[in-house]
Structures are given as structure tokens and as C-alpha cells.
Amino acid sequence: MTTTTAPHTTTTTNAPHTTTTTNAPHTISDTRAPKPDPVTGPHATTPAAPLPAPAPALPTPPPSPLLNPTHLGTLPLPNHLVMAPMTRNRAHPDGTPTPLMATYYAQRATAGLIIAEAATPNAVGRTYPNITALHTDAHQAGWQQVTRAVREAGGRMFVQLQHGGRVGHPATSGLTPLAPSPVPLPGGIHTPNGHEESVVPREMTRDDIRQTIADFAAAARRAIDAGFEGVEVHSANGYLLHQFLAANTNRRTDAYGGPVAHRIRFTVEVVRAVAEAIGPERVGVRLSPGLTVNGIEEGDTESLYPALVTSLTSLGPLAYLHLVHADPSSPHFQHIRAAWPGPLIANPISPADTLPPDGGRAAGERLLAAGADLISLGRPFLANPDLIERLRRSAPLNPIRDKFLMYVGGAEGYTDYPPLPSPE
């Protein structure tokens, strides 16, 4: 068989048959015997009706900037999406992470960064049953299994350090909760016995404050030894550090209460101690300006956060600030973005009872355009371990099965959300 190719012309010899074809626009010449015309020849037929034109393909959304690679300091990230910390209550009763948790996080390792759920730095800081902790060798070993699984799956992790303050109960921790002032949590709290009335927390002494700061620093060191890239200090959502910031939960008259400069002091001292323990480039801070969850009323948000951000800036090049329920049109967001010189992770406002059909893409892109560096998503990652691929393919999302969200334990509604089938 010999083939000779010239522009638009192909000659093929394949004995005993020979075919010469000349390809010009809309022209074909063939040396084979002509076939009878299907309309006028001896076997004439009625021409078949033309096939209907295929439906136009739906427009493919342009590639999202959320999926572009980036970095956090010197840490390379494959995309701009962060899995936000979410309490799931799957730890052992003493706070040690379980093998099931390693599976859960490894399933979601395609996130640019995972911030693991809140871990308490001491026993009195426990909030709810079966939450994680990071103040014993067993806790550290449990977390090491988690970080190893995520790293083997190609991921990167920070861990959130959280002290509950008044958000706690003796039925859970065995201890009376500590807080800036003896102001109980409104509405009660979930314990191993079910829902119970809150107890009046004990006001922290200066020794309590010093010990708690030391506990945060010790937990941060354990986090690095367990394989985390860094830690996030939780100063949001109505937990201990936020309780010091808020006027309605901090009624102290000493150097940690009263004017804004005093109320931000505890958060700043905790972050400073953690930064000194593991390096500022490994330390992020979570803030929730104006958020009223867990009975918080800050009272002077407009002056509180400029002062806090200015003080945090003085601690060195921290890894990031993480803003909860960020709204790019909000003055809080705009002022913090302008004042904060480092990376900013923004968590967009989303419906509490459902997932946005686009998985948070539009809200995340608006925040990127407004100056955020990374976008954290919670519930979309919870039900979609392959969220990154779903966003890339504009695929539908798994719905959340809320009854398995917290307090129930087990794999159902935790590690059994189905991934997308492989593309054909």
C-alpha cells in the first residue's frame, strides 16, 4: 500500500483496487464505477428526511479563578479554596481523633488548604461531646494519623485551636467553664446527657489567663509535631477569645476589660504566644466582626476591629486573617482588607439550610475580586468531598443530610457522600 499526499489530494494504491481522491472545498472525485442514482436509477427511493440538528450545547462557564494555583506564604496551594473548620463530633470521648476522621479529611484533600475542626488546648476549654483536643500525647498521635492521610492524598492542613469559655458544661468536661466574667451562655447547651441548662462560668483570674495563654502555645507546638502546617487561633463565633472582645460578656474592670484597648488584650497575647512558639508565618487568626452567635453582642464593632487588626499586624507576618460571613460590600470587610497587609481568607455568607447551586463559586469570586486572597467554604465541602472537581466540571452537588451533621457519630453522613463518576 503506497500513499502520496499533496495539498488537499490523496492517492492510495491497494491492489487490486485503486482509489484516487482529490479534496477541494466541497469536491470529491472517485475513480470507482458510478453508483446508480438513488432517485433516478433502477432502484430509486424517496430521499430520507434530514436528521434534526443537534441541540446547541449549553455554554460552559469560563474557568474560575478560584481554581487557579496560588500560595500562602511559602506554602504552594493548588487552588484558592479552603475547607473551613467544621465541628463534626467524631472524636473519641477524650478528644482523640479517630481513624474515621483520617478518612474524612483525606477524601477532601484536593482543597487548596484544609483547616481542621476546632481542637481545645486544655480540658476546661471543651465545648461539646466528642470534639477534638490537642493537649495530650494521645491527641497528638491521633492527629498525626490524620495529617499523614491527608499528606499522602496530596493535601495540606492547618488546625483550629479553640477554647469554649462559657460555651461548655461540667457534664462534658468535668469542670466548671471559665470566662472573662460570670455571664452564662443563653439558651442552654448540648451535653452527653442531651440538652441542659448552661451553668454560670467562673471568672478567670490572672493566673487562669496566664495558664490559658501557655496552653494555646503548647497546643500549637503539638500541632506542628503532629504534622500540621500551622494553626488558626479562634477569636470568633462567641468562644473564649470573642467573649473577651465583646462588651456583653466581658464586664471586667482590670487590664483585660472595659475600653477596647483592654478587651483586645487577651486575643493579642494569645496570638503573640502562639507566634513565638511556632513562628508567625504558621499562625492564622479567625475573626467574626458583628456576629451575634452564642449570645455575643460586641457593642462597638466599628472601633473594636480596627484596633485589633492594628495590634495583630504588629506581631509579625502572620499567616492570615480569616473573616467569617464576609460580605464584600460591608464596611467591616473593606476596612479590614485595607488595614491588613497579609493574606486574607474570606468565608462568604451562605444559606443556613441549603447549598448554593454553584457550590459558592459566585460568592467566592466576588470576594476574590474585592481583595480576598483565599475563599473558605464549609458546607459545600461537607457533602462533596470532590468539590474542586465538581466546580471544575460545573457538576451538581450532593445535598447535605443535616441529621448526621453533629452529635450522631459514625460514617453515615460523614464519609459516605458519593464522588462524581470518572469522566468518560
Instruction: Point out the residues that are catalytic.
Output: 239
Measure CA 83 to chain center.
2
DSSP 90-154: -S-TTS---HHHHHHHHHTTTSSEEEEEEEESSGGG--STT-EE-SSHHHHHHHHHHHHHHHHTT
Spatial distance between the Cα atoms of 251 and 246, rounded to a whole number of angstroms:
9
Grid coordinates belonging to 242: 470573642
DSSP 289-355: TT--GGG---S-HHHHHHHHHHHHHTT---SEEEEEEE-TTSHHHHHHHHH--S-EEEEE---SSS-
CA distance 279 to 26: 70
Q: Which grid cell sits at 53?
A: 440538528
Per DSSP, what are the bridge partners of residue 14? 17
d(CA 115, CA 347): 12
Radius of gyration of the chain (CA): 30
Of 159, 175, 68, nearest in space to 120 by CA: 159
Angle subtended by helix axes 99-107 and 137-152, to nearest 10:
30
- For residue 269, the one-letter residue type is E
DSSP states along 150-188: HHHTT--EEEEE---TTS--HHHHSS--EESSS-PPTT-
What is the C-alpha to C-alpha distance for residues 235 and 266, in angstroms, rounded to an integer? 10
Q: List the end-to-end C-alpha distance of the chain, in Å, as a whole number.
A: 35
The amino acid at 391: L
